[in-house]
Structure 1
Amino acid sequence: MKSYLSLIPISAKVHKRQNRMTLLCIVFAVFLVTAVFSMAEMGVRMEAGRLIGKHGSQALQSLFASTMAQTLFGAAAVLFLLILLAGVLMISSSMNSTVAQRTKFFGMMRCIGMSRQQIIRFVRLEALNWCKTAVPIGVLLGVAATWALCGVLRFLVGEEFSDMPLFGVSIIGIICGILLGVITVLIAARSPAKRAAKVSPVMAVAGNSATAKHTSRVPNARFLKIETALGIYHAVSGKKNLFLMTSSFALSIILFLSFSVMIDLVGYIMPQSANTADINIASSDGSNSIDPALLDQISDMAGVKRAFGRRSSLGVPAQVNAVASEIDVISYDDFDLECLVKDHQLRKGSDLAKVYGDNRSVLAVWDAQTPVSIGDQIQVAGETLEIAGLLKYNPFSEDGSTHRTVTLITSGETFARLTGVSEYSLIMVQTTSDATDENVEAIHNTVGNSYTFRDQRDQRTTSTYMAFLLFVYGFLAIITAVTVLNIMNSISMSVSARIKQYGAMRAVGMDTHQMTKMIASEAATYALSGCVVGCVVGLLLSKLLYDNLITTHFAYAVWTLPIVPLAVILLFVLAAAIAAVHTPAKRIRNMAVTDTINEL
């Protein structure tokens, strides 16, 4: 052996099984960063192709300074930091457990003359040795994932992604992936390297730090069974390990709650309404002048899924709670009213059933500037109407604000009774999925030139919305999967580090059921502390992001407790904790007492 560093590849082979999870963490981290930055660059390239087609090559000069490019790479940079943090916590936790199991090895190295600095260098180079395998695999997976996503966006989603480049290779993505892999490993190896350097030659005889340490206090079993108290004690006695394990649980919750805000943001930027029309037919002057027979005629045409209309009367004199005012009155057909429920546009306490048909109940648009409530009375056209429900925001304005104007939504029958008008000001048409340009042209010919005809099919945002959802949920799924695997691996390695203790406990009479309860209580301690920290920090960060990203631009948006995302991620954490107990408990049950005592 020329140098003690020659032991690194030998150690990698011997501890191949223990290092598997660490390698997987590096692979996933590099994969995610490579894919994220590559997709950001592909998006910029797609936009560059569009600009060149429209404005020529001079448009590229300002492309990378554009809002789109800054947004894409800014989001990628944030993800880089989050992945870096997740990778450091997971890899550091795994390496700490590995060092704990190899205390005897490092003690022997100290016995034959290796200095503390050499130990630190050994651990760091051993960690970097993993990068030789993990980083190339992560980069290749990231490039392959980018090609697959570009193909999905171009051929399956289509529309605005029809110019997405295929088989593009992002140098930025590859470099960022490599940098993240190396930086993550170096940061993560720092603490375990120092821990290994503290091992004294005396510990070579003891076998590991867990058995060499003597404590002045014992677990408090006054209120708990001894196996439960021991499990909790094992979890809280190692402060650094408790911090890393708690962080692993908490990080998944924080990431999940934070990224659920992105789902809401996309929903506000690109609202997906069930009553979104592909074709709008409006009167030229905004009056109620469209013959209802035209709506019936269009409804029966090929390529039409459904057609529905609206009537409007603006600046109508009225009394709102006995105060003279001018209001806007708009009629909704039954389908339009049903969509309010599908799109969750009604505030709590609204009773939509009262609004259907010819009646004296209406809906009103609400915001902080409009003083109306459910049950208020409004006098219009000599009749008294009651507000049966409120909309969360104004669907007729770009910013969702009422601008201090009371807007009522009535059924078609109620509007006709109040105003005596049966004609429409707007007809909205939704086409079938297989509608052709010829079908749309036939509708246009039927409408003629008497009204304004707008074909809005190319303004659909469903595909873009689904693409963003796919990206965010995919990212969360991968991060959650890696976190769950890390939790399972860390608890398993924690058990391995104390295997001699467990052997001694079995030798003095502790049965396998008690051993399982001890491991379960240790995992439950990690999970509970992680859930508390994750929920507190995650909810605070969720509200902070919501206020800065959404409420700032959409005044009607109000942050509410994300019950569904919180319940989902807590179930994942619970499942991870339960699954983490199974493998180490089974391993101990299957081992003879003599094997556990003699385990190094």
Structure 2
Amino acid sequence: MKSYLSLIPISAKVHKRQNRMTLLCIIFAVFLVTAVFSMADMGIRMEQQRLLEKHDGLNMQDITDSAMGQSLYLSAGVLFVLILIAGVLMISSSINSNVAQRTKFFGMMRCIGMSKQQIVRFVRLEALNWCKTAVPIGLGLGIVTTWGLCAVLRFLVGEEFSHIPLFGISVIGIISGIVIGIVTVLIAARSPAKRAARVSPASAVSGNAEITSGVHHGVRKNMFKIDTALGVRHALSTKKNLILMTGSFALSIILFLSFSVLIDFVNYLMPQYSNTYDISIAGRRSEPIDQGLLNTIGGMDGVKRVFGRKSAFDVKAELNEKKVQPIDIISYDKFDLDCLTEDDMLKKGSDISKVYGDSNYVLATWDQNSPLKIGDKMRVGTKDVEIAGLLKYDPFNSDGSTRGKITLITSGKTFERLTGRTNYSLVMIQLSKDASEKDVQAIRQRTDGRYTFKDQREQNTSGTYMAFVFCIYGFLAIITLVTILNIVNSISMSVSARIKQYGAMRAVGMDARQITKMIAAEAFTYALSGCIVGCIIGLWISKAIYYFLITSHFHFAAWSLPAGDLAVILLFVLAAAIAAVYAPSKRIRNMAVTETINEL
């Protein structure tokens, strides 16, 4: 052996099993960053190709200055920082546990003359040695995943993704992946390296598996039994490890809650309404559409559903016996009204059941500046109606605001009684999946050029919506997987670091059930502290991101407690904590007492 550094590959082989989680953490970090930046790069190339077809003399600066380019780079940058923090916490926790298990090894190295600086260098180079395996695997997974996502977007989604490259190699993605791998490991190894350097030569003789301060008092068991109290004590005794474990669990919750906001953002950016139509036929003031056309089109090939709306504009009205500006009245048939409930567009307290049929109840659009409230009375012409419900926003304006205009939504029969009009101003058609161009042309011919025919199939965003949702849920799944693996591995390594203590406890009479309870108490102490910190910070960040991404652009949107998302991630953390207890407790039960005492 020429140098003490020759021990690094030997140590990697000996501790291959213990290093498995650290390698996975590095692989996931490199994979995520490579995939994120590669997809951003593919998006830029797609935007460049699209703009080149429209404009000549386009340069890269124009792409960078575009809204899409800035959004992609900003999103990738934010994800880079979040993944870096998550990777540092998880890898640092894993290396700390690894160092704790090899206290005797570092003590022996000090005994034969290795200096503190050499110990620090050894731990850092040992960590970098993992990058030789983890970084190429992470890069490969990131590139292959990028190819797969591009193929899905191009062939299954299509639409505006028809120009996205299929087998592109992103230099930016590869460099970013390499940087995240090396930087994360170097930052994560800093604290454990210093910890290993503080090991004294005396530790080689004592074989103490933990670097802890002296115990000044016994374990208090006022609230718990002795085995549970010992488990809690183990979790709280090493402050740095507690902070790392808590931070690691908390960051997983924070990342999950932060990414969950993107689902809401996509829902507002590309809302998927149940009554979205493929074709519209608009009548003219002088020539509205009669019921006969709806009946004819409803029986044609390729037509799934036909529904229409009647409208009356600038109708004189009074609100609570006070004159208001002229209002608009729009009729919804049964399907349209059902969609309001299905799409959750009504404010709390609304009773849409009163609106169906010929009734004296109506719905109204609403925003924060609207004077309307449920139960208000309105006089429309000579007829009195009551507001039975309010929409959360105005669907007839792109920004969701009413712009000071009162718009009432009625059933078809109520509309006819209030206005005396029976013909439609707008007919909407939903096509079946097997509808052909021939079917669309046949529908167009039925209008006889008397009405305005619009084919709006190209404006359908369902494919793009599903692509974005798929990507977001994919990242959430990866975050959840990393959370579970990290919890299971961290608890297992923490137990391994205290294997001599557990052996001594078994030697003095502690049974397997008590050992399991002690490990469970330690695991749930980490989980509880991580959940508390993660929920507090995560909900605050979730709210801040919500207002930044959504409320600032959609003023009618209001943040609410993401109870469902919170329950999902907490359930996974709880399940991971339970799973983390099983393997190490079983391993200790199957080991002989003498074996645990002599364990290095």
Query: Shorter-chain TM-score: what band?
Result: over 0.9
Quote the residue 1:594 is aligned against: 594
Quote the residue 1:309 is aligned against: 308
8 A Cα contact 1:90 1:483, kept in partner:
no
8 A Cα contact 2:199 2:211, kept in partner:
no
Quote the residue 2:442 is aligned against: 442
Quote the residue 1:395 is aligned against: 395
- Matched residue of 2:18: which SS? helix
Quote the residue 1:542 is aligned against: 542
Shift of 1:220: 1.0
Matches for 1:130-529 after TM superposition, within 5 Å: 130-210=130-210, 213-285=213-285, 289-325=288-324, 326-529=326-529
- Matched residue of 1:18: which SS? coil
Q: Supply the distance in 2 between the matched residues of 1:452 and 1:307 (Cα, whole angstroms).
A: 16
8 A Cα contact 1:208 1:497, kept in partner:
no
Q: Which amino acid aligns with 2:196?
A: A
Shift of 1:341: 0.9
Quote the residue 1:112 is aligned against: 112
- Matched residue of 1:454: which SS? strand
Shift of 1:207: 1.4
Q: Supply the distance in 2 between the matched residues of 1:52 and 1:315 (Cα, whole angstroms).
A: 46
Q: Supply the distance in 1 between the matched residues of 2:212 and 2:77 (Cα, whole angstroms).
A: 44
- Matched residue of 2:120: which SS? helix
- Matched residue of 2:58: which SS? helix
Q: Supply the distance in 1 between the matched residues of 2:211 and 2:374 (Cα, whole angstroms).
A: 69
- Matched residue of 2:224: which SS? coil
- Matched residue of 2:189: which SS? helix
- From the superposition, tell whether residues 336 and 374 of structure 1 become closer, same or farther in structure 2 (CA, over 3 Å): same
Q: Supply the distance in 2 between the matched residues of 1:542 and 1:77 (Cα, whole angstroms).
A: 18
- Matched residue of 1:16: which SS? coil
8 A Cα contact 1:211 1:498, kept in partner:
no
8 A Cα contact 2:212 2:237, kept in partner:
no
Shift of 1:209: 4.3
- Matched residue of 1:289: which SS? coil
Q: Percent identity?
A: 67
- More deviation in 366-375 or 77-86? 366-375
Q: Which amino acid aligns with 2:152?
A: V
- From the superposition, tell whether residues 289 and 59 of structure 1 become closer, same or farther in structure 2 (CA, over 3 Å): farther
Shift of 1:280: 1.0
Q: Which amino acid aligns with 1:575?
A: A
Shift of 1:322: 1.4
Q: Supply the distance in 1 between the matched residues of 2:439 and 2:60 (Cα, whole angstroms).
A: 38
Q: Supply the distance in 2 between the matched residues of 1:441 and 1:55 (Cα, whole angstroms).
A: 33
8 A Cα contact 1:288 1:312, kept in partner:
no
- Matched residue of 2:524: which SS? helix
Matches for 1:119-134 after TM superposition, within 5 Å: 119-134=119-134
Quote the residue 1:9 is aligned against: 9
8 A Cα contact 2:492 2:580, kept in partner:
yes
Shift of 1:212: 7.2
Q: Supply the distance in 1 between the matched residues of 2:494 and 2:59 (Cα, whole angstroms).
A: 57
Structure 2 residues not aligned, in runs of 5+:
none
Deviations 1:369-395 (A, max 9, x none): 111111111111222211111100000
Matches for 1:20-31 after TM superposition, within 5 Å: 20-31=20-31
- More deviation in 203-212 or 378-387? 203-212
Q: Supply the distance in 1 between the matched residues of 2:177 and 2:368 (Cα, whole angstroms).
A: 47
8 A Cα contact 1:100 1:208, kept in partner:
no
8 A Cα contact 2:100 2:211, kept in partner:
no
Q: Supply the distance in 1 between the matched residues of 2:31 and 2:331 (Cα, whole angstroms).
A: 53
8 A Cα contact 1:283 1:452, kept in partner:
yes
8 A Cα contact 2:281 2:427, kept in partner:
yes
Q: Which amino acid aligns with 1:223?
A: M
Deviations 1:533-569 (A, max 9, x none): 0111011111111111111111111111111111111
List 4+ stretches of structure 1 deviating above 4 A: none
- Matched residue of 1:309: which SS? strand
Q: Which amino acid aligns with 2:446?
A: T
8 A Cα contact 1:52 1:60, kept in partner:
no
Q: Supply the distance in 1 between the matched residues of 2:67 and 2:594 (Cα, whole angstroms).
A: 66
8 A Cα contact 1:288 1:421, kept in partner:
no
Q: Supply the distance in 1 between the matched residues of 2:272 and 2:132 (Cα, whole angstroms).
A: 46
Shift of 1:69: 1.0
- From the superposition, tell whether residues 213 and 594 of structure 1 become closer, same or farther in structure 2 (CA, over 3 Å): farther
8 A Cα contact 2:106 2:199, kept in partner:
yes
8 A Cα contact 1:101 1:208, kept in partner:
no
Deviations 1:455-510 (A, max 9, x none): 10000111111111111111111011012101110000000000010011111111
Q: Supply the distance in 2 between the matched residues of 1:307 and 1:547 (Cα, whole angstroms).
A: 38
Q: Supply the distance in 2 between the matched residues of 1:368 and 1:84 (Cα, whole angstroms).
A: 40
8 A Cα contact 2:227 2:514, kept in partner:
yes
8 A Cα contact 1:51 1:59, kept in partner:
no
- From the superposition, tell whether residues 451 and 211 of structure 1 become closer, same or farther in structure 2 (CA, over 3 Å): closer
Shift of 1:288: 7.2
Quote the residue 1:66 is aligned against: 66
Shift of 1:7: 0.5
Q: Supply the distance in 2 between the matched residues of 1:513 and 1:341 (Cα, whole angstroms).
A: 53
Shift of 1:52: 2.1
Matches for 1:25-104 after TM superposition, within 5 Å: 25-58=25-58, 61-104=61-104
- With normalisation by structure 1, the TM-score equals 0.98
- From the superposition, tell whether residues 297 and 212 of structure 1 become closer, same or farther in structure 2 (CA, over 3 Å): closer
Q: Which amino acid aligns with 2:257?
A: L
1:579 correspondence with 2:583:
no
Q: Supply the distance in 2 between the matched residues of 1:529 and 1:519 (Cα, whole angstroms).
A: 16
Q: Which amino acid aligns with 2:119?
A: I
Q: What is the CA RMSD across the aligned residues, in angstroms?
A: 1.2
- With normalisation by structure 2, the TM-score equals 0.98
Q: Which amino acid aligns with 1:313?
A: A
Q: Which amino acid aligns with 1:323?
A: K
Structure 1 residues not aligned, in runs of 5+:
none
- From the superposition, tell whether residues 84 and 396 of structure 1 become closer, same or farther in structure 2 (CA, over 3 Å): same
Shift of 1:223: 2.2
